[in-house]
Amino acid sequence: MTEFFKDVTKTLRLPPGTPVPVGRVPAAPSKITVFEYDAEHCRERQMASLEGCFAQRDRPDVTWINIDGIADLELIRTIGEHFDVHPLVLEDIVNTEQRPKIEDYDSYLFIVVKMFYRVPPAEEIVFEQVSLLVTPDRVISFQEREGDVFDEIRQRLRQNKGHIRKMAADYLAYCLLDALIDSCFGVLEWLGDQVEDLEERLLTDPDAALWGRIHRLKREVVLMRKQVWPLREVINILLRANTPIIKKSTGIYLRDLYDHTIQIIDNIESLRDIVSGMHDVYLSAISNKTNEVMKVLTIFAAIFIPLTFIAGIYGMNFRYMPELEWRYGYGAVLGFMMVVGLGLLFYFKHRKWM
């Protein structure tokens, strides 16, 4: 969190719209992938530069330009110049701490969402920002690094499965958003398994390591909730957008996307309540465990108190004590102490204190 504020201070004295990396921006070269397709054809290319993309601006095909890596600020500025992207949008693209949102710039829509995934075997959720520029015939996507959840969409484009190659760019944008939202379900399933495992351990063997796992899990759920909640507003604005970019035929798919978002939010809220309750359960379990230990120690102390009293009596150095000269005094006192201890033990068991 401190690093975020340090990054933000870099932009305070700069003119609005100056692209400055904020947040996690890996210093890696950008990778450009282009899909150009229609109902009959699909062409996929890896581009070394953007010149080839600019040459295809006036073609009637739908174009998907995917850029992995946003550390190359010159590349971001070049995109802004050739596609008439507002400088404030360019600034938001390289700021990976953006809240999910949507903005209408008449000729294009700018959408910011978060992508969630987990890299096994690490017990940590990885999320990164995905920015989309949507025009009537083009979608430009920006990602922090290489690797995403869009492989199924690429396969559908290559193999001409479903409606994607028969639809306009707004349907492609829907497919990308749908893939991002569906990725949340896999993460939620993993979180649910973690919660079940922690609940079982809470009831059997609560320890200090378990407290750390609960705290980390709670932090991940809260972080995911923070990034998913604004998605409902983003999808709702898309549904109600009065723009020619979003076709009426895509509206029904966006409604389904809205339902998925609500379902994810409900699941996150349920997990959040469960994990929050697990803090109280853990403290109660530790308290009960401590009470059990203290009860055993108290019982032993209660048994030895009268024995200590008897030993204290016969440990006094008075000369004229009746049992001092008795031949069987030592054995009698030991036997009496044993009877007292066993009697107290039987009494505690009878009262079910043990």
> Would you state the structure tokens that stand for residue 315, as one six-digit string?
């440990």
What is the pLDDT at residue 4?
A: 43
User: How confident is the model over 23-36, as a mean pLDDT?
Assistant: 78
| Termini Cα distance of the chain | 50
Of the two residues 302 and 9, the one the predictor is more confident about is 302
Detail the DSSP E strand segments found in 119-193: 125-135, 138-143
> Would you state the structure tokens that stand for residue 159, as one six-digit string?
């193999």
User: How confident is the model over 102-107, as a mean pLDDT?
Assistant: 91
Sign of the torsion formed by the C-alpha atoms of 1, 213, 202 and 226: positive
Q: 């040459």: which residue's tokens?
A: 55
Q: Which of 255-259, 307-311, 312-316 has the highest mean pLDDT?
A: 255-259
Of the two residues 15 and 260, the one the predictor is more confident about is 260
User: How confident is the model over 75-81, as a mean pLDDT?
Assistant: 87
Would you state the torsion angle of the CA atoms of residues 226, 257, 44, 59, taken in this order, to the nearest 10 degrees? -110
What is the pLDDT at residue 116?
A: 85
Note whether 49 and 72 are within 8 A (CB). no
State the average pLDDT for the chain: 82
Instruction: Quote helix, strand, coil % in the chain, to nearest 5.
Output: 55, 15, 30
Of the two residues 266 and 300, the one the predictor is more confident about is 266
In order of their start, the domains of the chain are 2-285 (3.30.460.20), 295-350 (1.20.58.340)
pLDDT at 322 over 90: no
Note whether 66 and 57 are within 8 A (CB). no
Q: Which of 16-25, 188-197, 209-218, 342-351 has the highest mean pLDDT?
A: 188-197
What confidence category does residue 57 fall into, taking pLDDT thresholds of 50, 70 and 90?
A: low
User: How confident is the model over 240-267, as a mean pLDDT?
Assistant: 90
pLDDT at 6 over 50: no
pLDDT at 246 over 70: yes
pLDDT at 134 over 90: yes
pLDDT at 166 over 60: yes
Pairing label, strands 101-104, 62-68: unpaired
pTM: 0.76
What is the pLDDT at residue 2?
A: 43
What is the pLDDT at residue 3?
A: 43
Count how many residues are written for the chain: 354
**DSSP 8-state class, residue 138:** E
What is the pLDDT at residue 1?
A: 45
**DSSP 8-state class, residue 30:** -
Please state whether 225 falls in left (phi above 0), alpha (psi between -120 and 50) or beta.
Answer: alpha
pLDDT at 56 over 70: no
**Sequence-ordered list of residues with C-beta below 8 angstroms from that of 326, at least 6 positions apart, any chain:** 332
